[in-house]
A and B are shown apart, each in its own frame.
Chain A
């Protein structure tokens, strides 16, 4: 059994390596992904081992990265594109929304565009502007795209391979501030029969309040649950994993037991994922709810300067504050 302790970043690297080994059609492309191994080293060593035809350093142009990936996909390849930071995906937005997302539909199913668009996303690393954004709602709002986010090294390792194997275009959001967090990874875990990519998973069981999160906020919510337990409150934390499509079956089941639900994400609240989730949970669990579904999110401002990001980002206290408020109704 090859279970190793890896950081989330290294687990992604291992997953990419396995995908390159298992399928000669998989190619990695992006800015600085070769010799440098990407600015976060997620593709470290891959160009050395698989060559510059499989791990392609591209010119500095995001629209070019995604547009050429579409052509490669039409040609039968499975491009895995790295966008260097969340705030730099927008030059490619047209290609993603108008081309990547719609090709299968427009070809009446004759074309699949099995592209993975990896984006390190979210804040909390003290970066300058455009390096801390959470753009998931833009993509989740677009039919034809799938959007997922991993929260643990094991999930990072498996989900990146599942995303690459998927026939859909997948926007793969990597919680950049969790890249250095460690956890056990079963490197022999077979993909066949693995936990499905688009299914949510209960990350911690509890009886009093259901807390829903994905990506970087899963860790925050688990910490909040630990703190709440000291005060005698049991939070059930669900890692949604897939942002589009949403799998809320475990959330419904949980809310029917707890009667309370808090949704947490870094992205701004207005028209964010939390709005969709709150609406669906309310529709499904109306008679079980003891309070409205509450949201803990970033504010509806541009992502602020680093020295106030701590106040902008949902943290343990804000999650617990919302948990408290669900008991105030």
Chain B
């Protein structure tokens, strides 16, 4: 049955564990078809490849910044695939894998990182909120959204709605996140708090944020908490599916701590060699989420080399396509910075826009 502190359904060696029990006795298992197992593997590979392409684009000056998800693919694909169509997600700035699993074009967040806009998508259209860079703020937004689901009477059945809030281990120290826990509990919000504990908040290791395992915090706020192996896509799927379904059936919030590791730098601006040792990174390399899924597929004879080659080829094609479309992204018109400050405009901005346009015109034909 494994470690009660860590829900795991697939070992780092790629062996299946039939079922696992969480700290409150909930039993977790998955029942996938061979095709679905292969699909999860495909997701993991694609998400990693697209992420690597974005990192490369940043290195080549095509993006201003990139926050890589390297190492966290299973937590994101598992939880992302666990969402039902009607569910709503509130990401941080690193949930490119969840976004992909929602069926959203992976180009969508790249304009933010290229410096072309600040997100600019409609959260309601994609059931995926804009990225939130201010640490923890989105957990309150998710809570309020989930309160709205309750007020609308949209829980209590299989097609009820649930909400998921993503955040990091560092974020658990923020007041906003703790207030979100309080509110979600008090209002029985249909909400899953999904914390990717990747062991670091930039340079700060987990012990700078907490004295107890993060999932145990939930108890103090009055709802269940569970720690899952975040490098195990099957377990990440199982615990998230259960938590979302509990929420949609009216059983209120819960906290999932996906125990994982940030294999890369915090962002492309960061230099992790200043604060962590190579041997630590190597020990997590042995728990790689993709390697174990591949080992599983091979051992169970669910996939052969042709399949793996085909997945790699698809990943390569999608990465090339992403790159081409990033390079083709037009820069915004400077005057567009005055748009959308208010739904109905403002006299002050109208005046500034007009002045700005005249000023820009004054350079036309000059050497500037």
B1 contacts the other chain (Cβ, under 8 Å)? Answer: no
Say how far A253's CB is from chain B's closest CB, in angstroms. Answer: 31
A289-329 interface (Cβ within 8 A of B): 299-302, 304-308, 311-312, 317-318, 321
Please state if A130 and B174 are interface contacts (CB–CB under 8 Å): no
Tell me, in angstroms, the Cα distance from A32 to B274 when the chains sit together.
11
B71-117 interface (Cβ within 8 A of A): 112-117
Tell me, in angstroms, the Cα distance from A31 to B209 when the chains sit together.
11
Please state if B337 and A128 are interface contacts (CB–CB under 8 Å): no
Say how far A65's CB is from chain B's closest CB, in angstroms. Answer: 10
Say how far A49's CB is from chain B's closest CB, in angstroms. Answer: 16
Chain B interface residues (CB < 8 Å from chain A): 64-65, 112-118, 133-135, 170-171, 173-176, 201-204, 208-209, 269-270, 274-275, 331-332, 334, 336-338, 341, 346, 348-349, 352, 356, 359-360, 362-363, 368
A227 contacts the other chain (Cβ, under 8 Å)? Answer: no
A76 contacts the other chain (Cβ, under 8 Å)? Answer: no
Please state if B134 and A60 are interface contacts (CB–CB under 8 Å): no
Please state if B269 and A39 are interface contacts (CB–CB under 8 Å): yes
Tell me, in angstroms, the Cα distance from A161 to B195 when the chains sit together.
40
Say how far B100's CB is from chain A's closest CB, in angstroms. Answer: 20
List residues of chain B with CB within 8 A of the CB of A58: 208
Please state if B341 and A305 are interface contacts (CB–CB under 8 Å): no
Tell me, in angstroms, the Cα distance from A37 to B275 when the chains sit together.
10
List residues of chain B with CB within 8 A of the CB of A128: 64-65, 112-113, 115, 118, 133
List residues of chain A with CB within 8 A of the CB of B336: 308
List residues of chain A with CB within 8 A of the CB of B112: 128-129
Chain A interface residues (CB < 8 Å from chain B): 31-32, 34-37, 39, 57-61, 63-64, 87-88, 90-91, 126-130, 270, 299-302, 304-308, 311-312, 317-318, 321
List residues of chain A with CB within 8 A of the CB of B113: 128
Please state if A91 and B337 are interface contacts (CB–CB under 8 Å): no
If A87-B134, A306-B115 touch, whether A60 touches B173 (CB-CB below 8 Å) is yes
CB-CB nearest in chain B for A129: B118
Tell me, in angstroms, the Cα distance from A307 to B270 when the chains sit together.
22
If A31-B204, A60-B173 touch, whether A301 touches B349 (CB-CB below 8 Å) is yes
Most buried by B among A57, A126, A307, A318: A307
Most buried by B among A59, A60, A270, A312: A60
Please state if B115 and A311 are interface contacts (CB–CB under 8 Å): no
Say how far A262's CB is from chain B's closest CB, in angstroms. Answer: 15
If A37-B274, A301-B349 touch, whether A307 touches B175 (CB-CB below 8 Å) is no
Please state if A32 and B134 are interface contacts (CB–CB under 8 Å): no
Please state if B275 and A91 are interface contacts (CB–CB under 8 Å): no
Please state if B115 and A126 are interface contacts (CB–CB under 8 Å): yes
Say how far B115's CB is from chain A's closest CB, in angstroms. Answer: 3
CB-CB nearest in chain A for B349: A300
List residues of chain A with CB within 8 A of the CB of B360: 311
Per a CB cutoff under 8 Å, which of B115, B337, B362 touches A301? B337
Tell me, in angstroms, the Cα distance from A90 to B338 when the chains sit together.
24
Please state if B115 and A60 are interface contacts (CB–CB under 8 Å): no
Say how far A39's CB is from chain B's closest CB, in angstroms. Answer: 7
Tell me, in angstroms, the Cα distance from A307 to B112 when the chains sit together.
10
Additional A-B contact list (17), CB under 8 Å, known A61-B174, A305-B337, A308-B331: A31-B201, A32-B202, A57-B203, A59-B204, A60-B170, A61-B175, A91-B134, A91-B176, A128-B118, A129-B118, A130-B134, A299-B338, A300-B349, A305-B116, A307-B114, A308-B336, A317-B368
Please state if B203 and A32 are interface contacts (CB–CB under 8 Å): yes
Tell me, in angstroms, the Cα distance from A318 to B362 when the chains sit together.
11
Tell me, in angstroms, the Cα distance from A96 to B173 when the chains sit together.
19
List residues of chain A with CB within 8 A of the CB of B331: 307-308
Tell me, in angstroms, the Cα distance from A176 to B62 when the chains sit together.
22
Say how far A200's CB is from chain B's closest CB, in angstroms. Answer: 28
